[in-house]
Structure 1
Amino acid sequence: MNSIVRVAKLEDVEVVTGFLEKAKLNSHGIEEMVDSFLIMEDTSGVKATMGMEMFGVSGLLRSLVMTANTSENDLLQLFEEMFLLARKKEVKDLYLATNKLGAMKFVEVLGFEIVDNDQLPMAFSQSEHVKHILTVDNSVFLRRRLV
């Protein structure tokens, strides 16, 4: 089945929120940043989501959720579409956080590099989401420069 990736709209908030909550992820604030969320779907419905929280010219990827039938190619397509969306929103540096070694290897192939916590944008310190990430064991931040 062919998948399409599109930017979420206000009428998608309930779908995105439900998809994230089903995966036991925090869905707080989705409505305010819905135009920075991507939805991957096919004829069976939503296959994956990925969001970006904006901090000036920096973006933090969050809420990457995939169904079991999401392929590696689907995931690559989702990241490529997010890079395009980030550039459209004039993001210069895109960050993500993970505590999974397997995920780190994948995103490093996409051009992300590990950064020390003291290299994170100052605006991140105001984010409850980032504060939570910093409490998770073995979590690291990675950055990809888009300019």
Structure 2
Amino acid sequence: MFYQLKIAEEKDLGKLSGFVEKAGVSSEGFESLIDYFVMMENGENEIVACIGVEPNNENGLLRSLVVSDKLKQAHILTLFQSIQTLAEQKGIKNLFLVTNKEASVQFLSLMGFKEIERIAIPNQLLTLEHIRGSLEDENAKIMVKSS
């Protein structure tokens, strides 16, 4: 199957919000972040994956990763490479993420993310509601990749 990556635009807002909400992920704040999202669409222009980055000075928080079960690991890798490129273009130097899945930690480590202690999270990043909510899970792991 053919898949295409694209940076989300305002016209994609409803479709993108519906896609992530169907997966049980919050779309709060998407209106102001729409051009910080990368979407992967199939040949019928249906979203099959997305990821966004919420900027905070030169830091960014990866968020709203939703991936269809039809995609292979190579597609997910391409999605991550695309969001990293977008973040760099927007002046973001450090990409942070929060995960509670051990399998994700291994995959992300291969892509250059390093696990850090909670104490190492920049204070300004802790002002983002999304990270505060994610850190409520005691199994949450924080990772960062610097450009």
| Equivalent position of 2:14 in the other structure | 14
CA contact (8 A) 2:114 2:144 kept: yes
Q: Distance in 2 between matches of 1:125 and 1:113?
A: 18
Runs of 4+ in 1 over 2 A off after TM superposition: none
Q: Distance in 2 between matches of 1:125 and 1:61?
A: 13
Structural RMSD (CA): 0.9
Q: Distance in 1 between matches of 2:92 and 2:126?
A: 18
Q: Match for 1:4: what amino acid? A: Q
Q: Distance in 1 between matches of 2:127 and 2:29?
A: 14
**How many correspondences in the alignment?**
146
Q: Match for 2:121: what amino acid? A: L
| Equivalent position of 1:111 in the other structure | 112
Please show how residues 1-147 of structure 1 align to structure 2 within 5 Å: 1-44=1-44, 45-146=46-147
Q: Match for 1:15: what amino acid? A: K
Q: Match for 1:68: what amino acid? A: D
Q: Match for 2:42: what amino acid? A: D
Q: Distance in 1 between matches of 2:59 and 2:35?
A: 16
Percent identity between matched residues is 31
1:49-84 CA distance string (max 9 Å, x none):
001000110011010001111111110110111111
Q: Distance in 1 between matches of 2:130 and 2:80?
A: 21
What TM-score does the superposition give when structure 2 sets the normalisation length? 0.96
